[in-house]
Amino acid sequence: MSHFLNPDEIRSRFSALMSDMYQKEVPLYGDLISLVSDVNKSVLEKSPEIKNQLTQTGELPRLDLERHGAIRLGKAEELFTIRRVFAVMGMFPVGYYDLAPAGVPVHSTAFRAIEAESLNKSPFRIFTSLLRLVTY
């Protein structure tokens, strides 16, 4: 018998804890989550075709799940470490954004699950930015 949690479960718990923490820091965020939930419920009640489509694609259970987070890092070593932490949660870098052309000395990527089944269990992703130090 394994005593290890599945990466999807770890990611789901992490997402819920981050959301709880942020709602305590920014109470209006909790209001926003409630508003989104109310709108989702209303649309599903008024549009059975949308509910059927979400059910058929497996997206209905994840409709109200948190999807986004963001962190900023200051050192490449921190990115290396956080990549390992995210891997435990089944999250991998997807995409690369160099914001230097916009005058912002930042590299960014999103860490998320990459398998459809894992995304259906927990679609949470974290946009991760690494500040590039400018030397003169």
Provide the pLDDT for residue 134. 65
Give the confidence band of 109 by pLDDT, cuts at 50, 70, 90: very high
Per-residue CA distances from 123 to 25, 26, 87, 105 (Å) = 23, 22, 15, 28
> Could you tell me the pTM of the whole model?
0.80
CA 115, CA 73: separation in Å to the nearest integer?
26
Kindly report, residue by residue over 43-60, the tens digit of the pLDDT: 999 999 999 999 998 888
Q: How does DSSP classify residue 133?
A: P
Pick from 73, 58, 67, 51: nearest CA to 123: 67
